Amino acid sequence: MWPGAIVSDTTRNRALIFYQLVSAAPGNFNFHAVGYSVASWQTFAGLPQRPSINPQAEHPDLLFGPNDPAFGAAALVVGDTLYAYGCTSADLSVACKLGRVALGSETDLTAWTYFAGNGKWSSQLSDAIAVFTGNNIMNVSWNSYLQQYVAVYNSPLSTPVMMRTAPKPEGPWSREVRALSLIHI
C-alpha cells in the first residue's frame, strides 16, 4: 500500500488517509495500481481502518479501480466537504480531475460528484474534466495571504517545483509557474 494525501476531519475527530493498493514484482518499476481508497484514523494509539465497501470483491476496501484517476494525489476539506484530486499520467502529462463528497460519506461511491466544467458537478466519473495538469504527488491548500488555493508539485521526471493558484478548488487554475528548482549534489 502507498499512502496519499491526509486530511483532518475535526468534526468527527479523525484523519482520512488516501491510499493506493499496488501489486509489485521483483525488478525496477515492476508494479501497477490495483485501486484507490481512503482509510479512517481515529487515534494515534490505534491503526487506520480500511473500509469494507464491496465485501464480495477480491479487495473489498477499494473505492476506485485501477483505471480510475488516482484520487488522493491531493485532498483538502472545505467546510464539511472533502475534495480529492485524482491524477492520470499520459506521456509525461499528468491530468488531474476533482471529486468531492460530504464528510462522513467518503466511502459511499454514490455520494461522490466530479467537476464536469462550466460550474457543473456530475455523479458520473466519466463526465469529469481535468482541472489542471500537475503530478500524482502534490499538495493543494488554502493560502490566507494570497486568498487563493495553491497547488504545489514537481513536473514529472524533472526537478523544478511548480505551483498554480485558483479561487476555488475546481479553479479556474492559473498557468503553472516555477516556485523553485532543486539542486542535485
Share of the chain above pLDDT 90, in %: 67
Q: Are 64 and 37 in contact (CB under 8 A)?
A: yes
pLDDT of residue 114 exceeding 70: yes
**Mind spelling out the 3-state secondary structure of the chain?**
CEEEEEEEEHHHCEEEEEEEEEEECCCCCCEEEEEEEEEEECCCCCCCECCCCCCCCCCCCCCECCCCCEEEEEEEEECCEEEEEEEEEECCEEEEEEEEEECCCCCCHHHCEEEEECCEEECCHHHCCCCEECCCCEEEEEECCCCEEEEEEECCCCCEEEEEEECCCCCCCCCCEEEEECCCC
Q: What is the pLDDT of residues 142-170, one digit of tens each?
A: 999 999 999 999 877 777 889 999 999 99
Select the more confidently predicted residue: 31 or 128.
128
Mean model confidence pLDDT for the chain: 91
30 CB-contact burial (10 Å; exposed 0-12 / middle 13-18 / buried 19+): exposed
Longest CA span, the chain: 50
- pLDDT grade for 1, boundaries at 50, 70 and 90: confident
Q: What is the pLDDT of residue 27?
A: 85
Average pLDDT over residues 125-136: 94
Q: Report the pLDDT value the prediction gives residue 90, as an integer from 0 to 100.
A: 66
Cα separation of 140 and 107, whole Å? Answer: 21
Cα distance between residue 64 and residue 37, in whole Å: 6
Q: How confident is the model at residue 177 (pLDDT cuts 50, 70, 90)?
A: very high
d(Cα 103, Cα 52) in Å, to the nearest integer? 17
pLDDT in tens, 85-104: 999 876 666 899 999 999 99
Domains of the chain in start order, with CATH, are: 2-181 (2.115.10.20)
Half-sphere exposure of 67 (CA within 13 A, CB side): 2
Cα dihedral value 7, 8, 13, 14, nearest 10: 20
pLDDT: which is higher, 112 or 60: 112
State the Cα–Cα distance between residues 34 and 38, nearest whole angstrom: 14
pLDDT of residue 44: 81
Q: What pTM does this model have? A: 0.91
What's the rounded mean pLDDT across residues 5-27?
92
State the pLDDT at residue 135.
Answer: 86
